[in-house]
Homo-oligomer: A and B are copies of this chain.
Amino acid sequence: MKIQAKNKSELMKASLGFIDSDLVITNIQLVNVITGEIYPAHVYVYDGMIAHVETKDFNQLKAKEVFDGQGKYLIPGFIDAHVHIESSMMTPANFAKAVLPFGTTTVVTDPHEIANVCGKEGVYYMHDIGNDLPMRQLIDIPSCVPAVLGLENSGAVFTAKEVEELSHLERCSGLAEVMDYVGVIDQEERMMDILNVMEEKGLYIQGHAPCVLGRELSTYLCGGANTCHEVEVGEEALEKLRNGMFVDACDSSIVKNVNAIIQGIKNNITLYDYLCLCTDDREADEITTKGHINDVVRNAIRNGLDPIIAIKCATLNTAREIHIENLGAIAPSYVADMLLVDDLYEVVPSAVFYGGKLVAENGKMVVDIQTKDYPLEHKNTMFVKELSEDDFVIKTEIENGKVKVNVVEYESMNSSNTILVQKEFDVMNHVVQLNDPNLKFAAVINRHENHDTMTLAIVKDFGTKCGALASTIAHDSHNLVIVYDTPKNALLAANALKVCGGGICAVKDNEILHTLELPLAGLMSLKEAKDLIVDSKKMKEAINQLGLVDIHNPLLRIVTLCLPVVPYVKISDLGLIDVINKKIIPLFV
């Protein structure tokens, strides 16, 4: 696939010098990721494409505008191999504003969060808003909506039919992370149908195969997906690369894998063609303070990767991974996404060109981003039934006495893994009583149209000491999840989120401490990074006040409690979920 020039004939004339180019960037050291060289050059741009790279005649400038590169390095614009924009909690437009100054000119985005809430409408929104942005937001079509069929009700179900329909989007780049690797290895119908429809179209298929190795890895690869961003260990990276899998080494706000991957492969391999870089989920705060893909590149270099190779991993290699021929390098007929950097080890861009236009300079945007008005940005997606305190009370047939309950227990404060334990509780007047400060009630309430399913459960070692913590970010179905001490606190939190369209809310002693409003699909704020950071900082402080303190990021504790692809037991709107055996477990033993 090539990104087509708007007018090829005119581009060719500009190449030849028959007409002036729009821009020439002079006085630069070109970093050539195709040959591994660095040399002086002038780069001509016409209508968003590179028309010519001049390495000899530096005197005759045939362009309307001249940009003096001041002897800096010119490198291709960075490509994020896998990202969920929703995880930044920003709209695609505000996300663009946040990451462009760091040199991310292209993202391969998987809008599966919003797809689980808003279905196709959500994907269309994420795609269409990209039309107005000075960055390339490519759309991988979500493959697993919901993550596991039958164990949860999300806002949409994507079969091969929906996936095929969405693949016609102009900026569709492929199929997004095929998370249901068990479904692939077992050749379950839904996954095979989706894989086959996209493979027939010749589109690339993004994988997601944590710890899948050996014969299972071979099976997964033969299924059609050939990338993985879930690699955490060097040995796993080596095996996947050897087997022809693209490894998208990830430094997200949740995991930092680049260190281990580079350390684990650099003494073995000499060719890095299949290594790419990604951020997956990175919050506004971390983007603003550390950077985006350029931070991942920097980390790879610090771990011993040659700077040109590291830059190639975030440019040309990724373009190849996603089958785009004329992206990721600085050469004639390539798109003119380029960065000027002073230092190849720090990779902080002093100028960012997207499609040949200067969009950011010295860490600041220099163009305004104006987008259309999208109705979805003003739609309340909280279709939660009228709730009462009574809805949050776990009742049993026993009037008074004891009852044995299946409890979801967190393995540790640093893990999303949860195990099943059985505990005995007092029952008073049919109501189950908590008897340990490390135990809390949990409710998962379906918040999507045409569903009113709801589950109550008990969790252990979640981390809060008191109050209620509620969230509409609850991967991947994004139902309303609340961990709480009293029904009253729970109801307060639930209603606060219903009114504002979703978000995260902390309640203590019948008082709302803070609500991080995420009105766009209950996932994203409409605020820009700088304001969102203030808001999210307040939210973290409020969560700290609930006693959840010994944790890297308190915002992320609750968001995986419903995710039925993380071991071993989760909660959905349909009940307790045995993840490994893909079945629903009763609350009472």
Contacts and interface: CB of A to CB of B under 8 A. Distances in A.
Contact of A332 (B243, B273, B334): B243
A269 interface: yes
Interface string A515-548: 0000000000000000000000000000000000
A34 B244 contact: yes
A104 to B, nearest CB: 22
A332 B241 CA distance: 11
Q: How many copies does the complex hold?
A: 2
B222 A12 contact: yes
Interface in A287-316: 308, 312, 316
A34 B221 contact: no
Interface stretch (A90-98, A171-179, A212-220): A212-220
A35 interface: yes
A447 interface: no
Interface stretch (A46-54, A112-120, A457-465): A46-54
B242 A15 contact: no
A559 B312 CA distance: 45
Interface stretch (A3-11, A400-408, A504-512): A3-11
Interface string A246-283: 00000000000000000001001111011000000000
B241 A35 contact: yes
A17 interface: yes
Contacts of A214: 56
Nearest to A195: B8
Contacts of A244: 34, 326, 329, 331-334
A357 interface: no
Interface in A202-258: 202, 214-219, 221-224, 226, 238-239, 241-244
A15 to B, nearest CB: 4
Contact of A218 (B33, B35, B51, B269): B51
A32 interface: yes
A375 interface: no
Interface residues of A, number: 64
B269 A187 contact: no
Nearest to A185: B16
A150 interface: no
A36 B269 contact: yes
Contacts of A9: 187, 192
A329 B245 CA distance: 12
Given A16-B218, A34-B242, A49-B222, 16 more contacts: A4-B199, A8-B223, A8-B224, A9-B192, A11-B222, A33-B271, A34-B241, A34-B273, A35-B242, A37-B268, A52-B218, A53-B242, A222-B333, A243-B331, A273-B273, A273-B316
Interface of A: 1-2, 4-5, 8-9, 11-12, 15-17, 32-37, 49, 51-53, 55-56, 185, 187, 192, 196, 199, 202, 214-219, 221-224, 226, 238-239, 241-244, 265, 268-271, 273-274, 308, 312, 316, 320, 325-326, 329, 331-334
5 A-B pairs closest in CB distance: A244-B331, A36-B270, A36-B271, A218-B332, A15-B218
23 contacts: A2-B202, A15-B221, A15-B222, A16-B215, A16-B216, A16-B218, A17-B215, A35-B238, A36-B271, A52-B218, A53-B218, A56-B214, A218-B333, A219-B332, A221-B332, A222-B333, A226-B325, A242-B331, A244-B326, A244-B333, A273-B273, A273-B316, A320-B320
